[in-house]
Structure 1
């Protein structure tokens, strides 16, 4: 590592490289093809950025291309890469779908040494001859297990085929899939050296995996309760966009301003704002789908919530990898009824996760709800007799009062209402007396 890189590495607060970083540093710097497998949050981004940027030559055109699975991850890696590229006077350009194509085309004319983007946009710019590949020395495929499947696999192969045959390839992932064992067959019979450090990596912090039993009809209310926990914030994962939008509409209708959403149908500005608000703590819950499950780095994220449980173990691994990064503690809350949580245990039976029940009690997450203190049976019996006697006394008093009131109504006149005298009859006797006297 050159002196500038070493000083900047230490300035960022790192005292030594992680296992994946030290394993692939020299091979990538020499130009070897590598496959790097390490847990989420173990520093894979710096593992491929440091050695590849260190070898760049300023002013020699685009030499390094990094392919990412999402706009968010592409922007995140771009932000990190720029700080390192400055050390060697190189430029970095982000090429993502949803952004202004003309602006990206104009920026490519400045011949940035590094381009980082999504597969679809990169392929489109190569096809339109806007992105030149004749100087590209290295192509990195990040989150390779995700990108190398379905139509995206074809797109990635087309991008690599557009480069010279001796281009260096780097593949990085947190999980291993079948295609990662067959890379030489898919990419020109190149020799690819594998570095799998998943079992020896020690960067993961302590993460508690909790099973929170809650009916689907009560999940929105549970999310609101969780926001009452001090210094709590979480990524909330949904399987379907429709369910996410319904939940978000509920929070908007109830005027909860500390909840936002991050979805693929939002424009770039809204997505960036949602991520920024969440990172800065203005938002406590960020509702999303698996668009944010891979690679997104939110420093010291305390929790991940599976509003919907994932359909396979790989999705679970990537979702929960957003918390407990670089030695920090974290918690995963899995929502579901008894049947759902039982299925999740079966899904993850081959993984090393300790899934345990967890409860929400008095604005805290606890391993068990405190039991009410036991009352002595004799005291309970005495209380029961006392209550029974009191009830009998009340009935006797009520019946006695009824009898007294009944007798009173018969023997005594009711003086509560005074009889109103007629003003016309007030002096009737005197008038009669005067009339009699006058007749005599």
Structure 2
């Protein structure tokens, strides 16, 4: 490691390199092609950054290309690399889809030594001859298990073919897939495999809980979880429509939440992620677009609103918490059938799933015991006068001892109803026509007497 890096390494509070950082440094500095496999949160970005920067020359044009699967991860990686690159007077440019192409083209005119971007945008700029790769000596493919699938595989290969034939290659991933065993065939170069997943000890203690909640009550459960002290969570959805409905409901209910989806503008996505990192919001609702690589320091929890359908999905989702020795909590929501399927899916892994319950503003592994309420006797309906009298006698006997039965009083004759005038009742006023009619008769009589 360079002396400049050693000083900065200590300034950041790191005591020693992680397993993946130690394992790949010498092979990469020695211009070897490598495949680095390490758990999520084990420092893979720094692992390829330090040896990559050690071989770059300031002012010599674009020499390093780093490909990332999402805009968020590309921006995050560019910030990490820039923090180290400034020690060697190296410049970094981020090229991501969804951002302004003209601004990115202007940045390229400043001749950065490092370019970090998404494959689609990088290939577009290469095809338009705005980005030239003839000086590139190293290409890093981060999250290789995701990028080397489907159409993205062809895009990555096209970028590699635009670089010099002897370009050094570096692949990094948290999970192993079949294509990672066929890199020699796809890229025409021998790739050294370095797997430290069993040696890494950077993972903190993470509890994997299953909380039985029906689909119709999951939004309500999220609100209840917010009552826990210092609670924040990254909430994963499978369908964007379900996410939008929940986000709309939370917006109207003034719940501290924001959305992070692929259809949002880059500015909106950056703001949502930044607000969540700073603790301004407590819930970040997202799809698997945020499942890979995102580093959110000291994230307390990850919630699976919709359960993952593959082991790799679960690995990358839960890898957002428990990073760099920090504790974490994973909460998977679902009905009894869903949770059984999840246990079957993960039965071959080392994850220990356990049922959890929400009780008293906290999560517990102990099933709450329902307290039995005292049974109240229903009142007996009394349907006859004799029964009423009997009930009255029995009640009195219970309180004051035995009593004599009450004598029946003779029934009095019903008194005639006499109407009495109501002094408060106002008299009805005669209408104008009736009043004038009486006055006209009086005037006629007066006229008759005068004659």
Q: Using the alignment, how far apart are the partners of 1:48 and 1:227 within structure 2?
A: 38
CA contact (8 A) 2:42 2:202 kept: yes
1:399 aligns with 2:388: yes
**Structure 2 unaligned residues grouped into runs of 5+:** 394-404, 424-451
How far did 1:132 drift? 1.2
Q: Using the alignment, how far apart are the partners of 1:139 and 1:149 within structure 2?
A: 18
Q: Using the alignment, how far apart are the partners of 2:7 and 2:335 within structure 1?
A: 52
Q: Assess, with a 3 A threshold, how the Cα gap between structure 1 residues 162 and 370 changes in structure 2: closer, same or farther.
A: same
1:87 aligns with 2:87: yes
CA contact (8 A) 2:260 2:284 kept: yes
Residue matched to 1:129: 129
Q: Assess, with a 3 A threshold, how the Cα gap between structure 1 residues 281 and 392 changes in structure 2: closer, same or farther.
A: same
Correspondence list, 1:145-294, <5 A: 145-188=145-188, 190-256=189-255, 258-294=256-292
Residue matched to 1:140: 140
Residue matched to 1:342: 340
Q: Tell me the secondary structure at the aligned position of residue 193 of structure 2.
A: strand
Q: TM-score, normalised by structure 1?
A: 0.87
CA contact (8 A) 2:41 2:324 kept: yes
Q: Which has the larger radius of gyration?
A: 2
Q: Assess, with a 3 A threshold, how the Cα gap between structure 1 residues 409 and 165 changes in structure 2: closer, same or farther.
A: farther
Q: Tell me the secondary structure at the aligned position of residue 311 of structure 1.
A: coil
1:299 aligns with 2:297: yes
CA-to-aligned-CA distance 1:291-350 (integer Å, 9 cap, x gap) = 000000000101101111111111110000000111111111111111110011111111
Q: Using the alignment, how far apart are the partners of 1:152 and 1:420 within structure 2?
A: 98
Q: Using the alignment, how far apart are the partners of 2:260 and 2:316 within structure 1?
A: 17
CA-to-aligned-CA distance 1:257-295 (integer Å, 9 cap, x gap) = x11100000000000000011001111111101000000
Q: Using the alignment, how far apart are the partners of 1:322 and 1:412 within structure 2?
A: 89
CA-to-aligned-CA distance 1:70-117 (integer Å, 9 cap, x gap) = 000000001111110100001000000011101111110111010000
Q: Assess, with a 3 A threshold, how the Cα gap between structure 1 residues 58 and 421 changes in structure 2: closer, same or farther.
A: closer
Residue matched to 1:436: none
CA contact (8 A) 2:277 2:296 kept: yes
Q: Using the alignment, how far apart are the partners of 2:421 and 2:193 within structure 1?
A: 114
Q: Assess, with a 3 A threshold, how the Cα gap between structure 1 residues 276 and 399 changes in structure 2: closer, same or farther.
A: same
Correspondence list, 1:7-18, <5 A: 7-18=7-18
Q: Using the alignment, how far apart are the partners of 1:409 and 1:191 within structure 2?
A: 117
Q: Tell me the secondary structure at the aligned position of residue 411 of structure 2.
A: helix
Q: Assess, with a 3 A threshold, how the Cα gap between structure 1 residues 409 and 316 changes in structure 2: closer, same or farther.
A: farther
Residue matched to 1:426: none
1:2 aligns with 2:2: yes
CA-to-aligned-CA distance 1:325-381 (integer Å, 9 cap, x gap) = 111111111111111100111111111110110011111111113435799xxxxxx
Q: Assess, with a 3 A threshold, how the Cα gap between structure 1 residues 421 and 327 changes in structure 2: closer, same or farther.
A: closer
Q: Tell me the secondary structure at the aligned position of residue 169 of structure 1.
A: strand
How far did 1:175 drift? 0.3
How far did 1:245 drift? 1.1
Residue matched to 1:368: 366
CA contact (8 A) 2:357 2:368 kept: no
Q: TM-score, normalised by structure 2?
A: 0.85
Q: Using the alignment, how far apart are the partners of 1:14 and 1:51 within structure 2?
A: 17
How far did 1:399 drift? 2.1
Q: Assess, with a 3 A threshold, how the Cα gap between structure 1 residues 413 and 143 changes in structure 2: closer, same or farther.
A: same
Q: Using the alignment, how far apart are the partners of 1:418 and 1:363 within structure 2?
A: 68
1:67 aligns with 2:56: no
Residue matched to 1:351: 349
Higher relative helix content? 1
Q: Assess, with a 3 A threshold, how the Cα gap between structure 1 residues 398 and 54 changes in structure 2: closer, same or farther.
A: farther
How far did 1:244 drift? 1.1
1:410 aligns with 2:428: no
List, as ranges, runs of 4+ consecutive aligned residues in structure 1 with deviation greater than 3 Å: 372-375, 390-398, 400-414, 417-423
